[in-house]
Each structure stands twice: as structure tokens, then as C-alpha cells.
């Protein structure tokens, strides 16, 4: 039996409740703000260094999400996706991935159709029960507080690349 998450080439993420804690703050002028965890961001950069691509599929539209994606070098970004299967199927068609090569991390009912199709499904500790009960991996951390980092590390360890990707932090040269 093969280890879950071992052959993943793409991690797709929901934003609100996964990359953030799910809260949206509005100021008096109607501006919106979201908070992202820097450890999650570093985990995504490590994952990319390991050769695993990252993408976003979110139901809302926000310039903040686009900015965060640009900061992290995420080129696959779908916003305003009311039916998340549509961008997922577009990714399959246009980017040459198979379902079993994709991991998806979501936290709510709207994410289930994709979570149930991918090769590896994950969620945050504070996801709705229906999602937690159906995924391959439930992070110990809540959304926006390290859950994405946890899944990134899990995927790199499953793929056997964790030590190669992190060796430079221990004063050594990366191992190929």
C-alpha cells in the first residue's frame, strides 16, 4: 500500500479558514483585511523548493489574496470560485496533472467536492465536522495558525525530500 501524500506534485489551498483564520475585517472606508501566518508562508516556499507546485482556489475575490499569492510565487490562483470543481477540472485539463498527484486543503462544505477527488486531502483542526471526517489528514493547528505549514512538512516528509530541503538551515549543504 502506498503512503498517502507520497506522489503529490501540486498542493491546492482554500484561503479563508485555511490560509487565514477565517475572519474578515472591514474598516470604515470598506477596506478589507486578512491575516496570514508567516510560518505557513515559509512552509509553502519550502514546498516549492522541493518541486511541489502550489495553487489557490477560493470562493471569494480579494486583492489581498492576489498580493499574498504574488509574495509567495503562487501562479495558479482562482478567485470567486463558487463551484470549486470547475477550476479543479480546468487545472487537470490545462496543466497536465492527474487527480492522484494533487493535494487539496479545505475547511468547509464547499471544499468537499474537491477534497473527495484528490490524491491527498487535508484540513485544519477547526474545520467543520463533515470535512474532518472525510479527509486523509487533519492538522493539529487551526486555520491561519500553522496548519498549512504542518501539511507542507507532512508532504515533504512523505516524498522523502524534507532533509534535502531543510539541510541548509543546519549549516550543511543541500543533499541532492
C-alpha 124/C-alpha 140 separation (Å) is 7
Q: Which of 22, 92, 33, 30 is nearest to 58 (CA)?
A: 22
**Which residues carry a binding-site annotation for substrate?**
16
**Which residues carry a binding-site annotation?**
14, 16, 107
Quote the pTM value.
Answer: 0.93
- Tens of pLDDT, residues 83-136: 999 999 999 999 999 999 999 999 999 999 999 999 999 999 999 999 999 999
Strand partners, 172: none
- Tens of pLDDT, residues 3-56: 778 899 999 999 999 999 999 888 899 888 999 999 999 999 999 999 999 999
C-alpha 162/C-alpha 170 separation (Å) is 13
* Domain residue ranges of the chain, discontinuous segments joined by +: 10-23+33-128+141-169
**Which residues carry a binding-site annotation for Mg(2+)?**
14, 107
Given the candidates 2.70.98.90, 3.30.360.10, 3.40.50.1000, 2.40.50.140, the CATH classification of the domain at 10-23+33-128+141-169 is 3.40.50.1000
Locate cell 487551526: which residue? 142
Amino acid at each position: 500500500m502506498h503512503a498517502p501524500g507520497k506522489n503529490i506534485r501540486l498542493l491546492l489551498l482554500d484561503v479563508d479558514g485555511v490560509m487565514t483564520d477565517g475572519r474578515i475585517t472591514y474598516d470604515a472606508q470598506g477596506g478589507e483585511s486578512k491575516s496570514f501566518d508567516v510560518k505557513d508562508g515559509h512552509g509553502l516556499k519550502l514546498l516549492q523548493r522541493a518541486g511541489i507546485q502550489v495553487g489557490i482556489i477560493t470562493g471569494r475575490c480579494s486583492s489581498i489574496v492576489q498580493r499574498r499569492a504574488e509574495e509567495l510565487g503562487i501562479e495558479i490562483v482562482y478567485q470567486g470560485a463558487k463551484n470549486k470543481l470547475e477550476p479543479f477540472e480546468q487545472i487537470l485539463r490545462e496543466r497536465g496533472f492527474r487527480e492522484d498527484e494533487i493535494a487539496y486543503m479545505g475547511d468547509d462544505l464547499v471544499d468537499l467536492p474537491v477534497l473527495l477527488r484528490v490524491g491527498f486531502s487535508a484540513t485544519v483542526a477547526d474545520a467543520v465536522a463533515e470535512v474532518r471526517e472525510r479527509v486523509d489528514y487533519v492538522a493539529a493547528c487551526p486555520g491561519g495558525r500553522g496548519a498549512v505549514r504542518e501539511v507542507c512538512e507532512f508532504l515533504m516528509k512523505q516524498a522523502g525530500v524534507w532533509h534535502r530541503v531543510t539541510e541548509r538551515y543546519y549549516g550543511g549543504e543541500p543533499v541532492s
